[in-house]
Structure 1
């Protein structure tokens, strides 16, 4: 039951709203004397269902620092109303789970990422009641991964790099490295990360490159001889048979990519590509195969 003292402690502000500012003058808080005050309904209950969904919500449990929540929001553009939603998400999750909450915003545009970092404050400028400071991942701080070994060592990060930098000038090199790296892991997992990459690249020029790269992924599994060589050398990373098998796989992928793109491959080009055993040269040809107009352009500038 609400006590009389409870009532008096807030109703005095209904009777004399100006006491709010005057009471804080001793603290030098600059709340000015109002020229008008309106009494609004005090019922904050939402009479109609209001759907609010965070994109992804995760709970992290740690050994030394306890548990916390990570709410992930993907943001494609600046939205003036979004910070209010983020404040609601953060407050609601804290009230519901009684756990510290971190808001992570992911962006593909640098300007959006800079805006999303905030901070966003709710309340008067001189006395903000709530400040939202999201953690932001975007083109400005997600690493550019163009090395196959680096991509293979952390496939999820390489996937995030490919999605985040999908509009960059070097998107082709990033995607090529990821495509090669995916062929080093379980096929089912590779399919999952491949699909995530395709979804993340939607409506970007890099999507066409990615689809062309994925169109040839079966080439890495088609050669029985290459598979046999890979099996024989799987316990020795520098085994000659394994290296030869990888070279044959990569050579087949170069030719398959050209054919998928409708580029005519002459017998001379085919023999030269299939006869190459230099993995770095083959990787360079594979990257060029994404854009060349003729198969002979693979060997431009006299490179082998």
Structure 2
């Protein structure tokens, strides 16, 4: 199932195709900055009913070399079927577009990154035929950008750094630097990066820190994240008000129950005294006493019940 972190890890390259050339130096290669970039369809399905869909597909062109394809795959965990799928993607793209094809896998944890980096051959050991060697970007090689000035110099790379280090201890410092740098950026630049970062952190505890950092100035970050925070605050306030109302109602009910209990016992005391004195208690007198809900009035009736010659006379002072 597609998740926000999955989408953020590859769509950020659609947002800024030149990001790949800046990332490449951390992967041990040097890809020049593209002078041209084109987003291509990601659906690789043929007449075969099995659907093949790459996450992001770009056609890049640099001044030093001709055009080439970059397939970007976001990988959240190890999956035994993925190497075969990646081999299919690259072979199919090479066949369809007749262009050199590179594969970049973006990960958020070291174990998945190590697994994705392994070379995989589709043939037997002595006949490798086609060998897959993906480029992998993850917490093991992406920079830890904790200086706001460094983040400001390349906001998109700083956002990717936060996404790939989402589960790492140093992510808090990266997020603080990125948040500081974004405050100086125009809204049309900052807004998508705020959202990419939020999506990339969606399954990690660091998402709460990012939400708090973004919430410092909601009037600036007019994004879905800001609306989510507003909705959550509204919900929290509603819950607080609801709890206060419940508490007030609970106190009122407790008071009512206490008064009812005092009245019940008071009525029993009045009737007990009248009965102990051997006085006849007519039904209307008994009903009036048992239906009385005023504890103070019942106390006065109890005082008169001690001396009243008739049960009806307990009411005479009312």
Tell me which interval the TM-score lies in, with the shorter structure as reference length. 0.5 to 0.7
Q: Distance in 2 between matches of 1:126 and 1:187?
A: 56
The residue number in structure 2 matching 1:153 is 153
Q: Are the equivalent residues in 1 in contact too, given 2:187–2:220 (CA < 8 A)?
A: no
The residue number in structure 2 matching 1:162 is 162
Unaligned 5+ residue runs, structure 1? 1-45, 222-258, 263-304
The residue number in structure 1 matching 2:86 is 86
Q: Distance in 1 between matches of 2:192 and 2:151?
A: 16
SS at match of 2:68: strand
Q: Distance in 1 between matches of 2:175 and 2:47?
A: 49
SS at match of 2:212: helix
Deviation by residue 1:98-127 (Cα, 9 ceiling, x = unmatched): 000000000001111011011011111111
Deviation by residue 1:8-45 (Cα, 9 ceiling, x = unmatched): xxxxxxxxxxxxxxxxxxxxxxxxxxxxxxxxxxxxxx
Q: How far did 1:48 drift? A: 4.6
The residue number in structure 1 matching 2:6 is none
SS at match of 1:91: helix
Q: Distance in 1 between matches of 2:47 and 2:196?
A: 39
Q: Distance in 2 between matches of 1:182 and 1:219?
A: 14
SS at match of 2:131: strand
Higher relative contact order (CA 8 A, sep 6+): 2
- Please say if 1:135 is aligned against 2:143: no
Deviation by residue 1:41-84 (Cα, 9 ceiling, x = unmatched): xxxxx875221110000001122210100000000111111100
The residue number in structure 2 matching 1:22 is none
Q: TM-score, normalised by structure 2?
A: 0.54
The residue number in structure 1 matching 2:95 is 95
The residue number in structure 1 matching 2:114 is 114
Larger radius of gyration between Structure 1 and Structure 2: 2
Q: Distance in 2 between matches of 1:78 and 1:193?
A: 27
- Please say if 1:189 is aligned against 2:222: no
Q: Are the equivalent residues in 1 in contact too, given 2:104–2:134 (CA < 8 A)?
A: yes
Q: TM-score, normalised by structure 1?
A: 0.56
CA-atom RMSD, angstroms?
A: 2.1
Deviation by residue 1:134-170 (Cα, 9 ceiling, x = unmatched): 0000000000000000000000000001111111112
Unaligned 5+ residue runs, structure 2? 1-45, 222-232, 237-318
Q: How far did 1:187 drift? A: 1.1
The residue number in structure 1 matching 2:228 is none
Moved more, 85-94 or 209-218: 209-218
